[in-house]
Chain A
Amino acid sequence: MNRFDYIRPDTIADAVAALAAFPGAKALAGGTNLVDLMKYDVATPARVVDINRLPLKAVEDTADGGLRVGALVTNSDLAWHPQIAKRYPLLASAILAGASGQLRNAATTGGNLLQRTRCYYFYDTSTPCNKRVPGSGCSAIGGVNRIHAILGASDSCIAVHPSDMCVALAALDAEVEVEGPQGRRIIPFAQFHRLPDHNPELDNTLEPGDLVTAIILPATDFGRHHTYLKIRDRLSYAFALVSVAAAIAIEDGIIGDIRVALGGVAHKPWRDRNAEQRLRGEPPSEATFLRFAEDVLRESEGCGQNDFKIELARRTIVRALMQATRGTPQDQSDKVVR
């Protein structure tokens, strides 16, 4: 662990100033990811800005019928918040599919959004990794890559974003509220995380000094036609090999608004709006959903050990969409996939 400067500001303005003043400064929220990375010498921030005193713990209604979730609301509090359970059960379900009870108690909304990949090489400083040391190479290509990307990868990096929560947020068309040196701005979720391209060291589009202050959830109502289905290497407490957040508006037996986001397959939660668009107006059925899955995965590519994920993703998409159609969302404590 490197030596670092530690401060704990009381106001958002001070926090932003503290972050902006030091290149490579990092915000500390729950610490469940940052502290691990610091212990492994993967993250070596010169300054740690503890944001836990900031007033970012509220869940509030927005003017247009949505919810604004403060960046410091813990994953547990969010998942069990009555308004979330009632209005955004898909989000609650995705959060509960992740990590463990202890971790969710500490992990925050902002931290979850910004957690880094679980690529084995990223964590092991004795191996080359472009995300950790730009230009050093990508060890996962041709290496141990069972958990790596099948969509949107590049020659520089094939890592995936590990979050479950974010997959639901992608499906819900959430927005990220950011406070930066230039003031406040709102980033649509699809533009928040990015693909690796040639600079995988950048996970997202935040600028130096930016502080995430909230997630904004737009008003939506998919009734019970949603699900979060996560497939992993053990029945709990493992990152997704493939996960699917799905929500469908079914009108007169016809698919209307449909959202399908995939986790565990790409450098960001993966959505294919064109494919979704093409599904509109069709009757929901296994055959339709299979065609949709093929469509979404048309450019998927394995890198060896993860080749199976393409077939797994296909089947998981179909099953998830059937669950959503039936109105029987996956229960995160019952491990039977129905």
Chain B
Amino acid sequence: MEALQSNIAHIGKPTSRVDGKLKVTGRARYAAEYPAADLLHGVIVSATVPAGRITKLELDRARAVPGVVQIFTHENRGKAAWLDRKWRDEVAPPGHPFRPLHSDRILFDGQPIALVVADSFEAARDAASLVRAEYDIDDFCTELEVRRPEAYDPPEKRSGIPPPPEPRGDAEDAFDRAKHRISSEYRINAEHHNPMELFGTTCVFEGPGQLTIYEKTQGSQNSQGYVTSVFGLRSKNVRVINHYVGGAFGAALRPQQQLFFAVMASLELKRSVRVTLTRSQMFYIGYRPDTYHAIALAADNKGRLTSIMHDAVAATSHHEDYQEAVVNWSGMMYHCDNVKLSYALAKLNTATPCDMRAPGASVGVNAFECAIDELCHDVGIDPLEFRRINFASIDENTGKMLTSKALLECYQQGAAAIGWDRRPVKPRSLKDGRELVGLGMATGMWDAFLMKAAAEAKLTADGRLEVSTAASDIGTGTWTILAQIGADALGLPLEAITSRIGDSTLPASPVEGGSWTAASNGSAVMAACEAIKATLFKHARAMTNSPVAQAEYDDVVFAGGRIALKNDLARSLSFAEVMHAADLAEITETGKAAPSLLQMRKYISYTHSAVFAEVRVDEDLGVVRIPRIVCAAAAGRIINPKTARSQILGGVVMGIGMALHEEAMTDHRLGKIMNHSLAEYHVPAHADIADIEVIFVDETDEKVSPLGVKGLGEIGIVGTAAAVANAIFNATGRRVRDFPITLDKLLA
């Protein structure tokens, strides 16, 4: 910490991705691009009904395709673990993990029912299209509204997801007695991740029981653990590599179908095998579940919140109880003495939902922040003022103190940047041509986690530093920030640092999710670098005629590849000299990061944001434009403002998608998603995105992580959809409570 502060060169400086050139020139290899000798290609055949049993599989025509090597079905699948727990990965929710080809049972539409393996992709694909299946279809339901009355409190809680807090005060009574109150129901439709890169795995068969797996995953070690457990292999014989990941948004946290299939086929056929999902198959590997939100809020005349009730129902599958923290945020965004929250699940015949950028918060906070806007309107108070009045300085769910919360600065700087004072007080009162103009805002909040992570740093006598940890870079900028951290720790130029990530053989790392990588892996890298410095210093002092012989560690700085006395920089030793004297070709040290349990008893950390949107809505046609969004975030120390900004931009764009575009269109009679392509599943196009301004407010947090970093991957989406919806209300006077807000909902 000390050294960093005295010698900050790269941390905090906008830095282009170190892997950028490889990516834009096509030299960065993704999972399905690795060559392998004698590679076989597997293509998955998916079920076309949502529930039932396979009664007949017709494979003859497929088998007859020249080049087909094998077709795996539930009748001849390779050996795999029987017990449920063997299939559980690091982030699995409670329940029975999906086991591909386990039996003739169909659990959801799009479920894989066969794998065709051939010596060319074309042959495999051709043959796969010739597989015919017949089914006995069971009763099914894919409509949350229908199952909602049967919603239940999940008996087993998902690890890492706090259940809703116990009620405090008497929310119902306070609601009944309140001067101002609103009670509304929100619905947010299911969404699909749709990262650019298709899910793919290239499994290289190195010898019996020995595999190198190039895999699209957010956690190489999670995938490795899954493979060893499911197939009974030894950890040292399974290496998983995920150097580059073309987006994931949570969809690649859990091992997906293609990993199982590539490995199974590879072990059975003793050949290398590649399996890639199609775009439309990616609609069946997990999704952001649909949610309903019944929200009741009350306030007094002065705009002080007196009651908060938020009851959410979310979809899950029949086989797993997928859970997220949806309503918890409503109990801690603002100060309120009477709070009652609940979260229930309803089972649908779909794949298990999975984490998608800011899971839980992006929907829960969205609905809640819209409801808050309704309440502000009822009280007749400016929404920004309301949020200042109800500012919560602790986490009221747990009573814990916050390590930092520069949210008021977010409000202030965000409001100034959007020109909040232009906001028409009366809805539907500002017009420009045929467009109704409105401004809206919302608060955003996300966890700031520090997870257990380890790293290694290796300094060589030529002044190069290598930092390694099994982290992933899913477009987030991990390659770059780890290099920046290493550079600053040892006072070396960025070019002298090599990051190594995306490999299960590297020091332990959690999956890349929850916005915790920069804080956790970054801190572990820093700790490893600190250890190198200590070792260097030890050897430096031991040298004959050492200028630092009498110095304490605090008396020296590491800069320009040298150790120097702080108060006499001219007296210094190069790393090379020190290492030479100690007869060392390299120094290798490890470092760890872990949350402090002691601190966690008293403190908790969150990232905060204030999102402001200006919208324009055609008064007759309902066409919505968003000329400007400002997202002001308080996220602790920003290591790389350039990649950090990209993270927020991406989150905001996805928030716009949630507000206006994204939804799975399901035919509930068939139990099938119908818009399973990027032509029909709409995400924002360029034309939908105009000016997005990202502000990072100063926030110093010495407690959240050794680096003072909070993480940024998810905060950008939280609150954005609500800011847009609230702006639409301000512009049109119309409150749409059903997301996405497509133009038909604004026509009436």
Question: Which A residues are closer than 8 A to B by beta carbons?
Answer: 1-3, 41, 118, 120-121, 123-124, 126-127, 139, 142-144, 146, 231, 233-238, 241, 308, 311-312, 315-316, 318-319, 335-338
Listed by A's residue number, 7 A-B pairs whose Cβ atoms lie within 8 Å are A127-B672, A139-B667, A233-B742, A233-B743, A315-B747, A316-B621, A335-B687
Bound form: Cα–Cα A233–B687 in Å = 12
Q: Which residues of A contact B434 (CB under 8 A)?
A: 319, 337-338
Are B126 and A120 neighbours in the complex by a CB distance under 8 Å?
A: no
Q: Which residues of A contact B601 (CB under 8 A)?
A: none
Are B682 and A1 neighbours in the complex by a CB distance under 8 Å?
A: no
Q: Which residues of A contact B125 (CB under 8 A)?
A: 1
Q: Which residues of A contact B621 (CB under 8 A)?
A: 231, 312, 315-316, 319, 337
Other than the known A237-B687, A319-B620, what 16 A-B pairs have Cβ atoms closer than 8 Å? A121-B674, A124-B676, A126-B672, A142-B669, A143-B670, A231-B621, A231-B743, A234-B661, A234-B687, A235-B623, A235-B688, A311-B747, A315-B620, A319-B621, A335-B687, A336-B433
Q: Which residues of A contact B16 (CB under 8 A)?
A: none
Which of A123, A143, A312 meets B743, CB within 8 Å?
A: A312
What is the chain B residue whose CB lies nearest that of A311? B747
Q: Is B390 an interface residue (CB 8 A)?
A: no
Q: Which residues of B contact A124 (CB under 8 A)?
A: 672, 674, 676
Bound form: Cα–Cα A2–B122 in Å = 11
What is the chain B residue whose CB lies nearest that of A120? B674
Are B129 and A118 neighbours in the complex by a CB distance under 8 Å?
A: no
User: How far does the Cβ of A107 sit from chain B's closest Cβ, in whole Å?
Assistant: 14
Are B674 and A144 neighbours in the complex by a CB distance under 8 Å?
A: yes
Are B682 and A233 neighbours in the complex by a CB distance under 8 Å?
A: yes
User: Number of residues in B with C-beta < 8 Å to the partner?
Assistant: 38
Q: Is B691 an interface residue (CB 8 A)?
A: no
Taken residue by residue from 668 to 709, chain B's Cβ proximity to chain A (1 for < 8 Å, 0 otherwise) reads as 011010111101101011111000000000000000000000
Q: Is B660 an interface residue (CB 8 A)?
A: yes
Are B625 and A118 neighbours in the complex by a CB distance under 8 Å?
A: no
Closest 9 CB pairs of A and B: A126-B48, A236-B687, A308-B744, A120-B674, A235-B687, A237-B685, A144-B674, A236-B685, A315-B620
Q: Is B614 an interface residue (CB 8 A)?
A: no
User: How far does the Cβ of B100 sit from chain A's closest Cβ, in whole Å?
Assistant: 19
With a 10 A CB-CB cut-off, give which of B660, B684, B686, B744 has the most chain A CB atoms.
Answer: B744
Are A235 and B665 neighbours in the complex by a CB distance under 8 Å?
A: no
What is the chain B residue whose CB lies nearest that of A241? B743
Q: Is B574 an interface residue (CB 8 A)?
A: no
Q: Which residues of B contact A1 (CB under 8 A)?
A: 125-126, 129
Bound form: Cα–Cα A139–B675 in Å = 14
Q: Is B15 an interface residue (CB 8 A)?
A: no
Q: Which residues of A contact B680 (CB under 8 A)?
A: 118, 120
Known: A233-B742, A236-B685. A146 touches B665 (CB 8 A): yes
Which of B665, B684, B744 meets A234, CB within 8 Å?
A: B684
Q: Which residues of A contact B676 (CB under 8 A)?
A: 124
What is the chain B residue whose CB lies nearest that of A236? B687
Q: Which residues of B contact A231 (CB under 8 A)?
A: 621, 623, 743
| Contact residues, B701-748 vs A (CB, 8 A) | 742-744, 747
Bound form: Cα–Cα A27–B57 in Å = 34
Bound form: Cα–Cα A234–B672 in Å = 24
User: How far does the Cβ of A239 sit from chain B's closest Cβ, in whole Å?
Assistant: 8
User: How far does the Cβ of A146 sit from chain B's closest Cβ, in whole Å?
Assistant: 7
Q: Is B184 an interface residue (CB 8 A)?
A: no
Q: Is B447 an interface residue (CB 8 A)?
A: no
With a 10 A CB-CB cut-off, give which of A146, A234, A316 has the most chain B CB atoms.
Answer: A234
Are A238 and B48 neighbours in the complex by a CB distance under 8 Å?
A: no
Which of B623, B660, B674, B687 meets A337, CB within 8 Å?
A: B623
Known: A234-B661, A335-B687, A337-B623. A312 touches B672 (CB 8 A): no
Which of B48, B433, B675, B688 meets A120, CB within 8 Å?
A: B675
Are B129 and A41 neighbours in the complex by a CB distance under 8 Å?
A: yes
User: How far does the Cβ of A65 sit from chain B's closest Cβ, in whole Å?
Assistant: 36
Bound form: Cα–Cα A231–B747 in Å = 12
Q: Is B397 an interface residue (CB 8 A)?
A: no
Question: Which B residues are closer than 8 A to A by beta carbons?
Answer: 48, 125-126, 129, 433-435, 616, 618, 620-623, 625, 660-661, 665-667, 669-670, 672, 674-677, 679-680, 682, 684-688, 742-744, 747
Q: Which residues of A contact B622 (CB under 8 A)?
A: 312
User: How far does the Cβ of A171 sit from chain B's closest Cβ, in whole Å?
Assistant: 20
Bound form: Cα–Cα A319–B129 in Å = 47
Are A139 and B670 neighbours in the complex by a CB distance under 8 Å?
A: yes
Q: Which residues of A contact B742 (CB under 8 A)?
A: 233
Bound form: Cα–Cα A3–B126 in Å = 8
Q: Which residues of B contact A308 (CB under 8 A)?
A: 744, 747
Known: A139-B667, A315-B620. A335 touches B685 (CB 8 A): no
Are B661 and A233 neighbours in the complex by a CB distance under 8 Å?
A: yes
Are B433 and A143 neighbours in the complex by a CB distance under 8 Å?
A: no
Are B669 and A143 neighbours in the complex by a CB distance under 8 Å?
A: yes
Are A143 and B674 neighbours in the complex by a CB distance under 8 Å?
A: yes
Q: Which residues of A contact B682 (CB under 8 A)?
A: 233-234, 238
Bound form: Cα–Cα A142–B667 in Å = 9
Q: Which residues of B contact A234 (CB under 8 A)?
A: 660-661, 682, 684-685, 687-688
What is the chain A residue whose CB lies nearest that of B622? A312
Known: A120-B680, A123-B677. A144 touches B665 (CB 8 A): yes
Bound form: Cα–Cα A124–B684 in Å = 24
Bound form: Cα–Cα A2–B126 in Å = 7
With a 10 A CB-CB cut-off, give which of B622, B680, B682 has the most chain A CB atoms.
Answer: B680
With a 10 A CB-CB cut-off, give which of A236, A241, A316, A337 has the most chain B CB atoms.
Answer: A337
Q: Which residues of B contact A311 (CB under 8 A)?
A: 747
Bound form: Cα–Cα A233–B679 in Å = 12
Q: Which residues of A contact B126 (CB under 8 A)?
A: 1, 3
Q: Which residues of A contact B129 (CB under 8 A)?
A: 1-2, 41
User: How far does the Cβ of B139 sit from chain A's closest Cβ, in whole Å?
Assistant: 19
Are A336 and B685 neighbours in the complex by a CB distance under 8 Å?
A: no
User: How far does the Cβ of A334 sit from chain B's closest Cβ, in whole Å?
Assistant: 10
Q: Which residues of A contact B625 (CB under 8 A)?
A: 235, 335-336
Bound form: Cα–Cα A41–B618 in Å = 40
Are A337 and B684 neighbours in the complex by a CB distance under 8 Å?
A: no
Q: Which residues of B contact A146 (CB under 8 A)?
A: 665, 744
Bound form: Cα–Cα A120–B48 in Å = 15
User: How far does the Cβ of A121 sit from chain B's closest Cβ, in whole Å?
Assistant: 7
Bound form: Cα–Cα A234–B687 in Å = 8
Bound form: Cα–Cα A126–B129 in Å = 12
Bound form: Cα–Cα A117–B392 in Å = 54
Q: Which residues of A contact B661 (CB under 8 A)?
A: 233-234
Are B667 and A144 neighbours in the complex by a CB distance under 8 Å?
A: yes
Known: A118-B679, A139-B670, A231-B623. A312 touches B688 (CB 8 A): no
Q: Which residues of A contact B674 (CB under 8 A)?
A: 120-121, 124, 143-144
Bound form: Cα–Cα A237–B680 in Å = 10
Bound form: Cα–Cα A120–B676 in Å = 9
Bound form: Cα–Cα A335–B686 in Å = 11
Bound form: Cα–Cα A118–B677 in Å = 11
Q: Which residues of B contact A139 (CB under 8 A)?
A: 667, 670
Q: Which residues of A contact B744 (CB under 8 A)?
A: 146, 308, 312
What is the chain A residue whose CB lies nearest that of B670? A127
User: How far does the Cβ of B622 sit from chain A's closest Cβ, in whole Å?
Assistant: 8
Bound form: Cα–Cα A143–B686 in Å = 30
Are A120 and B685 neighbours in the complex by a CB distance under 8 Å?
A: no
Q: Which residues of A contact B620 (CB under 8 A)?
A: 315, 318-319
Bound form: Cα–Cα A138–B623 in Å = 30
Are A236 and B688 neighbours in the complex by a CB distance under 8 Å?
A: yes
User: How far does the Cβ of A288 sit from chain B's closest Cβ, in whole Å?
Assistant: 16
User: How far does the Cβ of B50 sit from chain A's closest Cβ, in whole Å?
Assistant: 11
What is the chain A residue whose CB lies nearest that of B683? A234
Are B747 and A336 neighbours in the complex by a CB distance under 8 Å?
A: no
Bound form: Cα–Cα A335–B672 in Å = 34
Q: Which residues of B contact A123 (CB under 8 A)?
A: 677
Bound form: Cα–Cα A238–B661 in Å = 11
User: How far does the Cβ of A263 sit from chain B's closest Cβ, in whole Å?
Assistant: 15
Q: Which residues of A contact B666 (CB under 8 A)?
A: 144
